[in-house]
Amino acid sequence: MSNKYTIILPYYCQDEIDRYLRIGDHLLTLGPQSHSYEFLLAASPKIRPNRDLERRFSRIAPTISFSCPTKVFGYPQGPTAMFWDCMDYISDHSNPNDAGFGLWLESDMIPIKSNWLDEIIADWSAAETPPLLMGCLIPDVYKHRVMKRPRKWVREHINGGGCYGRHFGKILPPEARNEVFDLAVYPFVMEKPERMRVTNTIALSSMDRCRADIVDQRRMILHGFMQNKDDFIDRCRQPVSQLELNRYQGKLHYHPLGNAIERTKLMFMGRGPEAMLAAMFLEMDRNDYLAQKAA
């Protein structure tokens, strides 16, 4: 029996529904994938399953509407409860040997290439051991301060918008469900690091970075972390111009001098969430540069 691939769309309110409808329109323009897959439309306990979403996504692939049963609300407890409801659902509806995945696709995430899912499946399947988790690695990020010890802003984890083995919910212990899910599961997955896979196919991006990321042939899905979600999705849907191809082809975000200057600015002036995001991108860009150089 072949592996199954499920794209999970968790939604909590009408704004999320409207955004997913636009993402659905975009997927229709990207065209079909060579692998079979399905959508799981996961409605929050506080909202009814949406028929417009069902109609839109059933034009793309088989679609299942699912009402998350765990009645937990607020952020981040509500989305975390929905995540585990979906992991349990997928596990309960998979055969024991299924080595496919569920892809948690939040409404600020958008596929950007015509072969988006085929490439993600190829990366997942390239691992010698079937992965348990695959996604974009967020490294440890520190706030460097003058005459003070660095303070950790972000601890290393795989960003939540990633791929999870179909029996993820059954394999991880109950303690993994006690915190924001992407931070909570990482230490347990890393007890067997061969089950964790870092991918370049899914990437954090921003309004300023996304056009270069779309040109980057490694990127298949972009996640507009801490951006205006509607603006980010609309910007990613714009066709790539020849000028953008000429400008960004083969280029990385990292530049040694520019990176050093930005780090110095953050040391003296960086405050709040925007500074944390800037520091995160600087660290990720440097790691990407070093990995490319070593390859």
- Per-residue pLDDT tens for 250-266? 888 888 877 777 777 77
What is the amino acid identity at position 47? I
Q: Mark 222-238 as b/e (b = at least 16 C-beta within 10 Å).
A: bbbbebebeebbebbee
Q: What is the mean pLDDT of residues 107-117?
A: 97
CATH of domain 5-138+154-242: 3.90.550.10
Q: What is the mean pLDDT of residues 107-122?
A: 98
Per-residue model confidence (pLDDT) at position 22: 97
Q: What is the mean pLDDT of residues 40-62?
A: 96
Per-residue model confidence (pLDDT) at position 147: 67
Q: For residue 205, give the nearest of 283, 276, 277, 140 by alpha carbon.
A: 277
Calpha distance 190→195 (Å, rounded): 8
Per-residue model confidence (pLDDT) at position 75: 80
Per-residue model confidence (pLDDT) at position 152: 81
Mean pLDDT over each residue of the chain, to the nearest integer: 92
Calpha distance 211→219 (Å, rounded): 11
The domain spans of the chain are 5-138+154-242
Per-residue model confidence (pLDDT) at position 1: 57
- Higher pLDDT among residues 270 and 282, named by residue: 282
Sign of CA dihedral 130, 196, 90, 120: negative
pLDDT in tens, 185-213: 999 999 999 999 999 999 999 999 999 99
Q: For residue 116, give the nearest of 209, 202, 57 by alpha carbon.
A: 202
Q: Give 134's strand partners.
A: 163, 197
- DSSP structure class, residue 157: E
Picking from 27-41, 96-110, 240-254, which range would have the lowest pLDDT averaged per residue? 240-254
**Element housing 207 (H / E):** none
The pLDDT of residue 274 is above 60: yes
pLDDT in tens, 150-192: 778 889 999 999 999 999 999 999 999 988 999 999 999 999 9
In sequence order, the 6+-apart residues with CB closer than 8 A to the CB of 136 are: 158, 159, 161, 162, 198, 199, 202, 203, 204, 223
